[in-house]
């Protein structure tokens, strides 16, 4: 489990269960990534004192990290837009958050449509827009 | 103008998730402008490797969204109180749409969040706006839908299906 | 199958398919899924918050404002079309 040396607000490390296969772009090529949301996640201290609840944007962050971990193709991709996020159910310390998502080719990049869920059910539906980075 | 102490009276968020420093313009129920300074001393940068490349210092995009969302939360709270609205209620982030990232944000930048009321209903409020850095648009927010729900719904012991998303994103 | 409801007052009739496209975008579904009488909640599994958002976006796009009671009753494309047509004519 590589250490998380990024400046992401979520410290949990993405555990890739299934990667989108190389020829992603056809529908139904879904990937699956899991995150253990430990009570020690730094955001819980302030969100909220004595009532820890995982912020909605951190569920979006997990979808974002899951996307980076399972991106199809080999080019680097960068987040262009949070096209939509629907917050449905809470995530509490100790939950395991599973992100299942489909990749679809879009002009200039990819659209990543994900559902994040805990054992209690869906937590959020997230759609992210990525552009493929043109490496100079 | 609302200073940090005033913001802490309005928002439940605390370190490290209190991501608004000052409100500089407020027309209750209509629009608000709030600031947040970005520093490389924020807790998120603690884990960056010593050899991290310059672009890895870009402020986490989801925290830009959170910071703008908290500015919207302030407008919602100020709007609700001003019109004698529900203050015993809890504000929940229902959804966000069309959030575009136009340029990276670096330590030393000051975020200027602009929030406008898109539509207000009895138990739901919708905002739109953008974030400027040095007068340049860094983020645009097409819609954020926030729902007011009775406060008691948020206890962890409450049955999960009743407990909606976190109060103020 | 798209029916354009002609408008007695001669104002340009509100095109059903244009409306269908806008609603499908907001709901993030294919336009073909948004049948004229499909119920947003039952048929398209949309939650009440999202149904509200659809109507509010239509208000802005067509420059009209509904009373909250009117707004909350609209749960299908046809109802949205009827209410919009009525409001546009009344303007």
Query: What are the pLDDT digits (tens) for C6-33?
Result: 544 445 678 999 999 999 999 988 999 9
Query: What are the pLDDT digits (tens) for B33-76?
Result: 999 999 999 999 999 989 999 989 999 999 999 999 999 999 99
Cα gap B68→B169, rounded to integer Å: 10
CA atoms within 13 A on the CB side of B57: 14
A interface with B, Cβ–Cβ < 8 A, is 3-9, 11, 42-43, 45-49, 51, 53-58, 60-61, 64, 79-90, 92, 120-121, 124
- Closest Cα of chain B to C29: distance in Å? 15
Closest CA to B62 of B85, B44, B50, B82: B44
Cα gap B87→A61, rounded to integer Å: 30
Cα gap A91→A52, rounded to integer Å: 9
CB neighbour list of residue B71: distance below 8 Å, 6 or more residues apart: B20, B23, B32, B34, B113, B115, B129
Q: What is the ipTM of this complex?
A: 0.88
Domain ranges for chain A, please list them.
15-132
Whether residues A9 and B60 touch (CB distance < 8 A) is answered with yes
What is the domain class of A15-132 according to CATH? alpha beta
Query: What are the pLDDT digits (tens) for A10-47?
Result: 999 999 998 865 554 455 568 999 999 999 999 999 99
Q: What is the DSSP string of C16-73?
A: HHHHHHHHHHHHTS-GGG--TT--TTTTT---HHHHHHHHHHHHHHHT----HHHHHH
Establish whether B47 is a catalytic residue.
yes
pTM of the entire predicted model:
0.89
Query: What are the pLDDT digits (tens) for A48-65?
Result: 999 999 999 999 999 999
- Confirm or reject contact between A84 and chain C (CB < 8 A): yes
């Amino acid at each position: 489990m590589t250490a998380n040396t990024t400046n992401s607000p979520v410290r949990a490390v993405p555990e890739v269960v299934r990667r989108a296969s190389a020829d992603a772009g056809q529908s139904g090529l879904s990937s699956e990534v899991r995150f253990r949301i430990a009570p020690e996640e730094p955001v819980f201290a302030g969100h909220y004192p004595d009532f820890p609840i995982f912020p909605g944007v951190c569920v979006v962050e997990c979808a974002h990290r899951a996307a980076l971990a399972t991106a199809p193709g080999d080019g680097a991709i960068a987040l262009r837009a949070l096209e939509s996020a629907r917050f449905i159910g809470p995530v509490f310390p100790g939950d395991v958050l599973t992100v299942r998502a489909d990749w679809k080719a879009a002009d200039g990049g990819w659209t990543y449509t994900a559902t994040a869920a805990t054992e209690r059910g869906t937590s959020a539906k997230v759609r992210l827009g990525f552009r493929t980075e043109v490496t100079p | 103008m609302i200073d940090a102490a005033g913001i802490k009276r309005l928002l439940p968020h605390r370190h490290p998730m209190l991501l608004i420093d000052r409100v500089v313009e407020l027309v209750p129920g209509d629009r608000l402008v709030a600031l947040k300074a970005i520093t490389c001393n924020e807790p998120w940068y603690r884990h960056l490797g010593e050899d991290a490349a310059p672009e890895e210092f870009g402020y986490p995009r989801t925290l830009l969204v959170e910071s703008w969302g908290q500015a919207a939360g302030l407008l919602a709270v100020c709007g609700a109180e001003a019109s004698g609205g529900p203050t015993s209620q809890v504000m929940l982030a229902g959804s966000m749409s069309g959030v575009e990232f136009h340029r990276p944000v670096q330590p030393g930048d000051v975020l200027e969040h602009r929030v406008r009321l898109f539509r207000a209903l009895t138990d739901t409020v919708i905002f739109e706006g953008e974030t400027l850095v040095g007068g340049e648009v860094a983020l645009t927010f097409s819609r954020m839908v926030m729902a007011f729900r009775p406060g008691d719904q948020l206890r962890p012991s409450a049955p999960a299906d009743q407990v909606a998303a976190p109060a103020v994103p | 199958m798209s029916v354009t409801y002609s408008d007695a007052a001669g104002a340009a009739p509100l095109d059903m398919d244009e409306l269908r496209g806008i609603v499908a975008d907001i709901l993030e579904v294919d336009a073909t899924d948004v049948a004229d009488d499909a119920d947003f909640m039952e048929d398209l599994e949309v939650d009440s918050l999202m149904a509200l958002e659809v109507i509010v976006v239509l208000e802005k796009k067509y420059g009209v404002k509904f009373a909250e009671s009117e707004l909350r009753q609209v749960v299908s494309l046809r109802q949205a079309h009827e209410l919009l047509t009525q409001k546009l004519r009344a303007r």
